[in-house]
Structure formats: structure tokens, C-alpha cells
Amino acid sequence: MTSSERQAKLLSATLRVANNIASILDPQELLQKTVDIICDEFRFYYAGVFLLDEKGEYATLKAGRGNAGIAMLAENHQLKIGGNSMIGTAVATQKARIALDVGEEAIFFSNPHLPNTRSEMALPLTVGTSVLGAVTVQSVEESAFSDEDISTLQGMADQLAIAINNAHQHAENQFLLAQAERRARLLDAANEVGRGVASILELDELLPKTVDIICDAYNFYYAGVFLIDENKEYAVLRAGRGEAGKAMIAADHKLKLGGNSMIGMAARERIARISLDVEGEDAFFRNPHLPETRSEMALPLAVGTNALGAVTVQSIEGNAFSDDDIQTLQTMADHLAIAINNANLLKEVERTHAELLRTKTYEALSSATTEAIHWIGNKALPMTTTAARMKEDLNESELDIESLKEDLEMIDHSAKLIMDVKEALLGPARETAPRPVMLADIWLASAYHANTPTQKLTVKANPNAPLAFGDSVQLVRAFGSLLRNADESGAKNITIESAPSAQKGFVITRISDDGIGIPEAMQDKIWASFFTTKGEGFKGMGLASCLHIISQLNGSISVESVPEKGTTFIIELPAAEASSANLDIAPGKVSLIAPEGEWTSFVSEALQSAGTEVLNKFDPSVDLLLLDETLADETLPTLEKLGSKTLILSAAPKVENITKYLQSGVKDMVLKPYSVEELAEISG
Amino acid sequence: MAKLLLVDDEALVRRSMQKTLLRRGFTVETASNCSEGLATFEASHNTASPFDMALLDLNMPNFDGIPAHAAGLDLLTKLREINPELIAIVLTAYDEVDTAKDAVQRGARSYFVKGREQGLVNLINEILG
């Protein structure tokens, strides 16, 4: 080969190495390719690449030409840096060493795999001031290397060094990237556990979710959560990943606290136990459900000095946990511990609340029973004692008629009070039939039934007040009790007003009086049955039944009272949905006899809009007479000719009134309509 | 004949008991609550005919006019402050061991569950000898 041919070859080999350097990312492939090119293109006997080990003590063969190379790689061929080899020296000095006759080279290391070597050069692989290793090139000829060979091969070695350095950098970058990605995944997992901790109060939901998050984020073999039992003897498995977890929970898997398990120790001591190779761990519990575990960590679940349990995390790989893993998982465990503690506290609060409720219920029942016994005892007592005395009196020769009359009166009075109580108890117990009702009209009907003096009563109109959704019969009963209370409190004025409530979907109605008020000490007792502030002539059932009725209608009632100033009862009831219906069919002419007010306006307008002529007086020619119950008694005597066309309308028809009115010849007595639909039903 | 003070807030009970006791020859004055009972007792205490015995309902309006479970015992305490030798029987609609003990500790001679007035008459006669 002429010098110019060899020059061309060198150039071509350099280019090929440069191409490989640019295109081959795998460092091992790059090194092997380089030694092959050197040998093929220059026809050298052997070439090999050595890289410096981590400690900088040895140059280790990483690629070698042919069978010799394969054999030396298999032997993990190494040369000491600075030792008696050309490679060791080249690396130590960062300078090329060339032996044109190795036999004469003092530091040539005689290699049995390369017996024919006569010339050798060792070219350092350097980047800046760093040395990465060296390339050996060997020839069977003496003085085989020209100056051009040396400079060309050193140039190649320099490029190779850069490529190796890049590959190392790339590998390191890849490692850092993988580490960053893993850290990001861990943070995501920690955040997800954090979200669960903040939003899930049920441990049966939170704990399985947490073990799934841990296993999914870290790709671990298994994770489980143990909680310490009530007797503080065992850590009991409460959640476990996958089929193994299910099987262990089904088997009530538990580990003795402080026993020979990592979990038992971590839970009791509140200290993490980490085993990167469980074979060497004395406290490792060999679990038949998890045969492949190689690494395990047991992280304590504790809040302050309060040990709650432990989390186990297991991997099929040895050395599976990095410091990052341990730190992130312990943080997760700490958050989980807070959630468990909160859940325990919540349960404790619920238990205490239930206990308190039971105690309060018992107290309330006991108090109600005591009141009832006292009341019944006192009301029934005069009946028995008076009857006994009357028996004795009747045996006397001279009868004391006045005394006997008084005794009979006492028996009669007691009996009546007991019968009234029966009605007060029975009323609220009747089935309710809620419908849209006009509160102002219900109050007027209640006042009529409770005989409230009209001169005391003011029912303020409020066109903005929506209809309430309630049972008019029950409401008349409840409102009647409030009106009676107001009247009996010595009030001179009783004022009623209704308005939309601040609570959406509700209507509020207030009854205020200027009576004697209720002493503060009694304000929380007034809702109890048989409790009365008005003395022995009263049943003490009114407010109790009132509360019952309002509650049954999904409403609420409260009281504000100032002694000597007056009392206000505030009632909130569900508002009825507004109806936009119109009357389709209506009688031609109707007499409407009712007090002026909201209800009368509503009926008049509805009928008139359907084309009905509405009169507010008697007229024999009408098709229908609608008569408000509150005016019925005074009006009935004048109704002879209209009886069969008359409907008496009542918010709360009473059996005795129905009988009375029907006997007087009216067509019917019906519930007062408060909606167009109901009006259509009675007038159609 | 002995003079009795009967304090009970139930008018019919009060009247019925009074009639029965009057028939048996006792002198009976009545009151319907603690304040009235105390006033009645005080009014006759320093006279020639003080009360020989007080019959006090347990559950009635207290001195503030508010119904209270053991208001009768508060009245008992006040009456015995005026006359430590006062003989008193506490009347109640139902028996309650703790309240009965409390009544005795406060100086009541007996604790009578209302129901049979003849039983009360016998008890009064027994105590007054």
C-alpha cells in the first residue's frame, strides 16, 4: 500500500469512526465498532478499548477485536493504572505510548492472548483534563506505526473519547430524567393520597385507595395498611393490594405488636423498618401470600405519641427503595395517619353524640312520662276520691245536696280535661294531606275555630307571601293553639303577618302578642306535653301538638318572648309551587259570600277570568253559592231558596258542623280551595 | 281539733282533699302555690292557733311561679325555718325513692302518694296521735 493509499484509508477510517460516533448511541456497540474499523481499515493485529473504573484504579477492557478480545472480555481483563502496562501508563500520564518493538518496551505487559504483537500503541481517551481510558492498537510488525497513523489514530481516539463522554452524559441524563419522572410520579401519588386524606372520611374507602395509589405510582409488588386493634395487642390488616390483600383480609390477617414482624415492630415503636434484602431481616414475616417479596419497608402510622398502625410496602426487587421513596412514602404515611386519627375522632364524636342523644332521649321520655303521670294522676285523682266520698255521703241519713253537686262537678270537670287530652293527642296523629294553602286565610279560619276575639286580631296582608304547602286542617289546629295561648296570655293585641322566608323555598309566618310573656326559664319546656304555665285548668298539650304538626309538615317553629312584654311564635313552612293554571269551565253566575280579604279576591278573580259573573250578595238566579264557613251560621237562616246550590267552604271542616249544615239543606260542605285546580274541582 | 295547711296547685285535688279532711273534723286552710302557702303559714304562726301540720304537694309552681319538680320541698324548708318542730307530710302523684329520702332529710314526717284519701286521714291521725 502506497503512502497516499494508506493516507486515503486512514481518512476513510476516520470518517467511518466519525459517522459511527454520530449514529451509534449504545456505548458498547460504539466501542466494538471502533476496534473493528481500526483493525479492518489499517489491517492491525488487534485493537481494544479500556475504560477507567469508578475508583480510578484500573483500566478495564470494554471492547476487543476478535477471539482474543472475546476471551479477555470474558476474563474481565484489567490493567492497573500507572502499573507495568502501556495502557496503565497512557491513562496515568494522559499521553500516548508507542512501542515499535514491544520486546524492547520495558512496560509492555506480555499478553498470552496476543502472542504475535510486535508493535503497540496506547492512546489515552481524554476530554479536557479528564481521562476516560485508553485505546490499544497492536500490530504483528515491528515499527508498524507511522507518524500519520499515530496522529490519525489519536484523532480517532479523541473523537471516541468525546463520544464516550457524551454517551456517559446521555446515560446520566437518562438516569436523572428517569429519577425526575419517578419523583414527579411520587409527588402525584402523594398529592392523590393527600386529596383522599382531605376528602374521604370513611377508612374503608380511603385505605384501599391509598394502597392502590402506592402500588400504581411505584410499581411495587404489594402495599397494605395495618391498624392497631382496640386492645393494643395486634396490628390488623385493614387494606391490602390485589388478590393477596383480599385473601389476607378474609383470613383476618394480623401481626402481634412488637412481635417478630417488621409491621409489629414499626407500629409499636413508631419507627420505620426498612429491609432492602428481606432474607437477612430477622423481623421479616414470611408471608405465603407474598412469596416474591425481596424488599420491604414498614412505615409507622402515628400522630404525636399516638401509634395507630403501620403501612407495609413490598417489592420483588432487592434494594428497591431509594431515599426519595422512603421519604415520600413516610410523608404519605404521616398524612394517612392524620386522616385515620381524624376518622377515629369523628367516630368518637359520633359515638359520644349517639350516647348523648340516647341520654337526652331517655331524659326527654322520662321527663315527658313524669309530666304525664303527674298530670293524669292529678286529673284522675279527684274522680276517685270524690266518688269514694260521695258513696260515704249517700249512706248518711241526711244528704248534703250542695256538697254532692260540687263533687259531681269535680268529677265532670276532671273527666272533660282527660277527654280533651285524648283529642289533643289524636289530632296531630291523624294522616296529613298537604296542599297549597293561603296562610292569612288559615289564620282567619283558626281564629274562627278558636273563638279568638276579632277586635284583638290583626292579620296583615302581604301579596308577596307565597302559598304554604301544608294540611289546612292540621294547620288550623296548630294555629288555633297559638291563638288560644295568645288570648289567654292577657294580650290586647294579636298580630299576624306572613312573608317569604330567608330560607329558600319556605314561607314564614309570625304571631305576636303583647301578653304577659313566658319566663326565660320556661321557654325550653313549653314544647313538652302536659307542661303548662297557665295553671291547673289547662292541659299543657297545645304547643306540644303544634310542634308535632309543624314538624310533620317539614316546617319549624320557634319562640321569642320577653316577660311582661309579649311573645312571638315564628313558623316556617315549605312554600308551595306557584300555579299558572286557569279555570276552563266555570258556572255562569256565582254568589260569593265571604269576608273581604286575600282568599275572596283570589276566588273572584279566578272565576271572573273564566267568564263567570261573581256577585257578593244573595241572588236566587245564581248557579252556585259559595259560602265561607265563618259566615255560615249568621247566613244560613236566609238560605232557604239557595240551599241546594250552596257549598260551605271550610279550611278545617268539623264533623259536627258538617252534620249541622247538611241537615239544614246545603249541597255540601267542602275543603276551602286555595288553588285554581281546587276551585275548578268544586265549581265545575 | 288539729289545724292543717294544705298546699296543692290542683284546684280539684285541693278541694276534694279539703272536703274529706273537713268531714273528719280537721280545720283545713288551703293554698295553691309555694308563695301563698308560706304567707298563709306565716299569718297564723304567731297567733293562738298555729298550724299543727302541713300537707305539701311536691310538684307545683315554685316561689318564682314556675312549675318545678320538687318545689314542695323548698316550701318545706322555709316552713321549718319558721317552725323547726313543724310536722309535715309531702304529697306526690307518684312514688320516687330519692325524692322521698330528700323529703325526710329536709324534715318531712312522711311521704304520701296521692290516691286514697282515707289512707291520708289514717296517716294524719297516726302522726298526731
Domains and CATH numbers, chain B: 1-6+17-58+71-92 (3.40.50.2300)
A392: Cα separation from own chain's centroid = 74
Res A222 pLDDT > 90 = yes
To which H or E segment does residue A363 belong?
Answer: helix A323-394
Task: Tell me which chain B residues have a C-beta less than 8 angstroms from the C-beta of A408.
Answer: none
Confidence category of residue A534, pLDDT binned at 50, 70, 90 = low
pLDDT at residue A281, as a whole number = 66
What are the residues facing A51 on neighbouring strands?
Answer: A60, A133
Q: From A447, A216, A428, select the one nearest A332 (Cα to Cα).
A: A216
pLDDT at residue A320, as a whole number = 81
Nearest by CB: B12 against A382, A389, A532: A382
Contact B93 A407 (CB under 8 A): no
Q: In the 3-class helix/strand/coil scheme, how is A204-246 assigned residue by residue?
A: HHHHHHHHHHHHHHHCCCEEEEEEECCCCCEEEEEEECHHHHH
* ipTM of the complex, rounded to two decimals: 0.78
Task: Tell me which chain A residues have a C-beta less than 8 angstroms from the C-beta of B118.
Answer: 388
Nearest by CB: B15 against A377, A410, A535: A410
pLDDT at residue A158, as a whole number = 86
Residues of chain B whose beta carbon is less than 8 angstroms from a beta carbon of chain A are 9-13, 15-17, 19-20, 23, 59, 64-67, 69, 93-94, 114-118
Spell out the residues 6+ positions from residue B128 whose beta carbon is closer than 8 angstroms to its own: B2, B52, B53, B87
Q: Is the Cα dihedral A409, A412, A415, A421 positive or negative? A: negative
Encode pLDDT of A633-651 as tens digits. 877 777 666 677 889 999 9
Confidence category of residue B96, pLDDT binned at 50, 70, 90 = confident
Lowest mean pLDDT among A106-110, A288-292, A518-522, B37-41: A106-110
Nearest by CB: B114 against A377, A392, A522: A377
Task: Tell me which chain B residues have a C-beta less than 8 angstroms from the C-beta of A532.
Answer: 67
What are the residues facing B29 on neighbouring strands?
Answer: B5
Alpha-carbon distance A671 to A649, whole Å?
A: 6
Task: Tell me which chain B residues have a C-beta less than 8 angstroms from the C-beta of A377.
Answer: 93-94, 114-115
Contact B12 A535 (CB under 8 A): no
Contact B115 A384 (CB under 8 A): yes
Contacts 24+ apart (CB under 8 A), A239-247: A239/A207, A239/A208, A239/A210, A239/A211, A240/A211, A241/A211, A241/A212, A241/A214, A241/A215, A242/A215, A244/A287, A244/A289, A244/A290, A245/A208, A245/A211, A247/A289
Distance from CA of B119 to the nearest CA of A (A): 11
Alpha-carbon distance B4 to B87, whole Å?
A: 10
C-alpha cell read off for A544: 306540644
Contact A536 B114 (CB under 8 A): no
pLDDT at residue A58, as a whole number = 92
pLDDT at residue A668, as a whole number = 86
Res A292 pLDDT > 80 = yes
C-alpha cell read off for B53: 301540720
Res B51 pLDDT > 90 = yes
Nearest by CB: B13 against A373, A381, A392: A381
Nearest by CB: B11 against A370, A374, A536: A536
Alpha-carbon distance B117 to A672, whole Å?
A: 52
Amino acid found at A547: L
Alpha-carbon distance A477 to A594, whole Å?
A: 21
Alpha-carbon distance A244 to A142, whole Å?
A: 70
Encode pLDDT of B69-93 as tens digits. 789 999 999 999 999 999 999 998 7
Res A533 pLDDT > 80 = no
A310: Cα separation from own chain's centroid = 24
Length of chain A: 684
pLDDT at residue A535, as a whole number = 56
Q: How many CB atoms lie within 10 A of CB A525?
A: 18
Spell out the residues 6+ positions from residue A120 whose beta carbon is closer than 8 angstroms to its own: A86, A98, A99, A102, A105, A108, A136, A137, A138, A139
Q: How large is the average pLDDT for residues A164-193?
A: 79
Q: From A14, A21, A60, select the one nearest A37 (Cα to Cα).
A: A14
C-alpha cell read off for B82: 319558721
Task: Tell me which chain B residues have a C-beta less than 8 angstroms from the C-beta of A403.
Answer: 19
pLDDT at residue A103, as a whole number = 65
In angstroms, the Cα distances linking A260 to A230, A285, A296 are 20, 7, 14
Q: Using the 8-state DSSP alphabet, how is residue A316 labeled?
A: S
Alpha-carbon distance A368 to A372, whole Å?
A: 6
Contact B20 A389 (CB under 8 A): yes
Res A427 pLDDT > 80 = no
Distance from CA of B46 to the nearest CA of A (A): 31
Lowest mean pLDDT among A309-313, A671-675, B48-52, B93-97: B93-97
On whether the CB atoms of residues A617 and A635 are closer than 8 A, the answer is no
Report strand pairing: A506-513 vs A566-574.
antiparallel
Nearest by CB: A381 against B59, B67, B115: B115
Task: Tell me which chain B residues have a C-beta less than 8 angstroms from the C-beta of A378.
Answer: 10, 12-13, 93, 114
C-alpha cell read off for B107: 324534715
Which tops the pLDDT comparison, A207 or A637?
A: A207
Residues of chain A whose beta carbon is less than 8 angstroms from a beta carbon of chain B are 370, 373-374, 377-379, 381-382, 384-386, 388-389, 392, 403, 406-407, 410, 413-414, 519, 521-522, 531-533, 535-537
Task: Tell me which chain B residues have a C-beta less than 8 angstroms from the C-beta of A536.
Answer: 9-12
Alpha-carbon distance A159 to A163, whole Å?
A: 6
Q: How large is the average pLDDT for residues A28-44?
A: 85
On whether the CB atoms of residues A603 and A673 are closer than 8 A, the answer is yes
Distance from CA of A515 to the nearest CA of B (A): 17
Nearest by CB: A377 against B15, B19, B93: B93
Question: Residue holding cell 324548708?
Answer: B77
A61, burial (CB in 10 Å: exposed 0-12, middle 13-18, buried 19+): buried
Contact A389 B117 (CB under 8 A): yes
Spell out the residues 6+ positions from residue B129 whose beta carbon is closer than 8 angstroms to its own: none
Res A35 pLDDT > 80 = yes
Amino acid found at A631: L
On whether the CB atoms of residues A473 and A479 are closer than 8 A, the answer is no
What domains does chain A contain, in order, with CATH numbers? 3-172 (3.30.450.40), 186-348 (3.30.450.40), 430-574 (3.30.565.10), 589-683 (3.40.50.2300)
Distance from CA of A332 to the nearest CA of B (A): 57
pLDDT at residue A107, as a whole number = 57
Which tops the pLDDT comparison, A108 or A613?
A: A613
Residue from A371, A379, A383, A385 whose CB has the most chain B CBs within 10 Å, to mutate:
A385
To which H or E segment does residue A78 belong?
Answer: strand A78-80
Encode pLDDT of A47-67 as tens digits. 999 999 888 899 999 999 999
Q: Which residue of B has its CA nearest to A370?
A: B94
Task: Tell me which chain A residues have a C-beta less than 8 angstroms from the C-beta of B22.
Answer: none
A-B C-beta contacts closer than 8 Å = 74
Alpha-carbon distance A599 to A675, whole Å?
A: 10
Alpha-carbon distance A329 to A183, whole Å?
A: 11
On whether the CB atoms of residues A30 and A12 are closer than 8 A, the answer is no
pLDDT at residue B36, as a whole number = 95
**CB hemisphere CA count around B37 (13 angstroms):** 33
Alpha-carbon distance A49 to A17, whole Å?
A: 14
pLDDT at residue A470, as a whole number = 94
A259: Cα separation from own chain's centroid = 36
Alpha-carbon distance A125 to A160, whole Å?
A: 7
Nearest by CB: A381 against B67, B69, B114: B114
Res B64 pLDDT > 60 = yes
Contact A521 B64 (CB under 8 A): yes
Confidence category of residue A429, pLDDT binned at 50, 70, 90 = low
B97-105 and B71-82 helices cross at what angle (nearest 10)?
10
DSSP annotation string for A508-520: EEEEEE-SS---G
Nearest by CB: A536 against B9, B16, B66: B9
Q: Which residue of B has its CA nearest to A411?
A: B12
Encode pLDDT of A432-451 as tens digits. 789 999 999 999 999 999 99
Nearest by CB: B66 against A378, A410, A521: A521
Encode pLDDT of A460-474 as tens digits. 878 888 999 999 999
pLDDT at residue A657, as a whole number = 78
Q: How large is the average pLDDT for residues A598-625?
A: 88
Confidence category of residue A105, pLDDT binned at 50, 70, 90 = low
Contact A377 B94 (CB under 8 A): yes
pLDDT at residue A540, as a whole number = 65
Task: Tell me which chain A residues have a C-beta less than 8 angstroms from the C-beta of B65.
Answer: 519
Encode pLDDT of A545-585 as tens digits. 888 889 889 999 999 999 889 999 999 999 998 777 777 77
Contact B93 A389 (CB under 8 A): no
